[in-house]
A and B are shown apart, each in its own frame.
Chain A
Amino acid sequence: MVKTLAKRMGLLLLTLLLVTVLAFLAFSIIPGDPTSSILGVDATPEQVAVLREQLGLDLPIWQRYWNWLSQAFAGDLGTSYNFRMPVGQLMAPKMSATLLLAALSFVLIVVISIPLGILSARHAGGWLDRVVTVADQVTMSIPNFVVGIALTYLFGLVLRWFEPGSYTSATRDLAEQLRYLIFPALAVALPRSAMTVKMLRGSILSEMGQDYIRTAYSKGNSQSSVLWRHVLRNAMIPVVTFLAMAIADIVAGSIVVEQVFAVPGLGQLLISSIGNRDYPVVQAIVVLVAAVVVVCNFAADLLYRVMDPRLKGR
Chain B
Amino acid sequence: MAKRLQKALLLLAVAAMLPVSLYGCTGDTGASPSDPPAANTDELPQEKNSVTVGIAQDLDTLDPHKAASAGVSEVLFNLYEGLVKVNAEGGVSGAVASDYTISEDKTVYTFTLREGVTFHNGAPVTMDDVLYSLKRCAGSENDGVPLISAFSDVTDISAVDDTHVAVTLSKPSLEFLYSMTAAIIPQGSGDTIATNPVGTGPFAFQSYTPQESLVAKRYDGYWGTPAYLEEVTFRIISSAETMVMSLKSGVLDMVIHLPNTMAAEVKEGFTVHEDTMKLVQALYLNNAVKPLDDVRVRQAMYYAIDVNEIIEFVCNGAGVATGTSMYPAHTKYFLPELATAYQKNLDKARELLAQAGYPDGFALTITVPGNYEQHVQTAQVLEQQLGQVGIQVTIQTVEWESWVSDVYRGREYMATVCGIAADDMTAREMLVRYVSDGRKNFINFNDPDYDKAVAQAIASTDDQAQTECYLEAERILNEQAASLWIQDLCDLVVMRPELEGFTFYRTYVLDMSTIRYQ
CB distance from B296 to the nearest CB of A (A): 31
CA distance in complex: A43, B405 (Å)? 12
CB-CB under 8 A from A100, the residues of chain B are 19-20, 23
Q: Is the CB of A275 within 8 A of B400?
A: yes
13 contacts between A and B (CB under 8 A): A32-B405, A37-B68, A39-B66, A44-B439, A96-B27, A99-B23, A103-B19, A156-B249, A163-B249, A164-B248, A166-B249, A170-B35, A233-B2
Q: Is the CB of A163 within 8 A of B251?
A: yes
Chain A, residue nearest B2 (CB): A229
Chain B, residue nearest A228 (CB): B2
Q: Is the CB of B23 within 8 A of A84?
A: no
Q: Is the CB of B249 within 8 A of A165?
A: yes
CB-CB under 8 A from A233, the residues of chain B are 1-2, 4-5
A93: Cβ under 8 A from any B Cβ? yes
A175: Cβ under 8 A from any B Cβ? no
B163: Cβ under 8 A from any A Cβ? no
CA distance in complex: A82, B210 (Å)? 10
CB-CB under 8 A from B459, the residues of chain A are none
CB distance from B330 to the nearest CB of A (A): 19
Binds A, one of B6-14, B87-95, B177-185, B277-285: B6-14
CB-CB under 8 A from B402, the residues of chain A are 30-32
Q: Is the CB of A165 within 8 A of B212?
A: no
User: How would residues 209 to 223 of chain B score, 1 for a CB under 8 Å from any chain A CB and 0 otherwise?
Assistant: 111110000000000
Given contacts A164-B245, A269-B210, 8 further A-B contacts (CB under 8 A): A41-B404, A44-B152, A95-B26, A99-B22, A103-B19, A106-B16, A110-B16, A165-B246
User: How would residues 23 to 34 of chain B score, 1 for a CB under 8 Å from any chain A CB and 0 otherwise?
Assistant: 100110111100
Chain B positions 61-90 with a Cβ under 8 Å from a chain A Cβ: 61, 66, 68-69
Chain A positions 93-142 with a Cβ under 8 Å from a chain B Cβ: 93-96, 99-100, 102-103, 106-107, 110
A20: Cβ under 8 A from any B Cβ? no
B239: Cβ under 8 A from any A Cβ? yes
Chain B, residue nearest A296 (CB): B15
A290: Cβ under 8 A from any B Cβ? no
CB distance from B29 to the nearest CB of A (A): 4
CB distance from A118 to the nearest CB of B (A): 13
B440: Cβ under 8 A from any A Cβ? yes
A15: Cβ under 8 A from any B Cβ? no
Given A168-B213, A169-B212, residue A31 in contact with residue B195 (CB < 8 A): no
Q: Is the CB of A82 within 8 A of B60?
A: yes
Q: Is the CB of A264 within 8 A of B209?
A: yes
B238: Cβ under 8 A from any A Cβ? yes
A38: Cβ under 8 A from any B Cβ? yes
CA distance in complex: A41, B402 (Å)? 12
B408: Cβ under 8 A from any A Cβ? yes
Chain A, residue nearest B149 (CB): A44
Q: Is the CB of A303 within 8 A of B12?
A: yes
CA distance in complex: A224, B498 (Å)? 63
B241: Cβ under 8 A from any A Cβ? yes
B252: Cβ under 8 A from any A Cβ? yes
Q: Is the CB of A38 within 8 A of B66?
A: yes
Chain A, residue nearest B422 (CB): A42
A22: Cβ under 8 A from any B Cβ? no
Q: Is the CB of B8 within 8 A of A307?
A: yes
Q: Is the CB of A84 within 8 A of B245?
A: no
Contact of A261 among B18, B23, B242 (CB under 8 A): B242
Given A42-B423, A164-B249, A233-B1, residue A36 in contact with residue B405 (CB < 8 A): yes
CB distance from A83 to the nearest CB of B (A): 5
A40: Cβ under 8 A from any B Cβ? yes
User: How would residues 149 to 172 of chain A score, 1 for a CB under 8 Å from any chain B CB and 0 otherwise?
Assistant: 100110011001001111011101
Given A264-B211, A307-B4, residue A84 in contact with residue B252 (CB < 8 A): no
Q: Is the CB of B26 within 8 A of A260?
A: no
User: How would residues 247 to 291 of chain A score, 1 for a CB under 8 Å from any chain B CB and 0 otherwise?
Assistant: 100000000000111101000110010011100000000000000
CB-CB under 8 A from A170, the residues of chain B are 35-36, 38, 41, 209, 212
CB-CB under 8 A from B17, the residues of chain A are 103
A302: Cβ under 8 A from any B Cβ? yes
Q: Is the CB of B246 within 8 A of A262?
A: yes
A244: Cβ under 8 A from any B Cβ? yes
Q: Is the CB of A276 within 8 A of B212?
A: no
A10: Cβ under 8 A from any B Cβ? no
CB distance from B146 to the nearest CB of A (A): 8
A243: Cβ under 8 A from any B Cβ? yes
CA distance in complex: A107, B15 (Å)? 10
Chain B, residue nearest A239 (CB): B12
CB distance from A113 to the nearest CB of B (A): 12
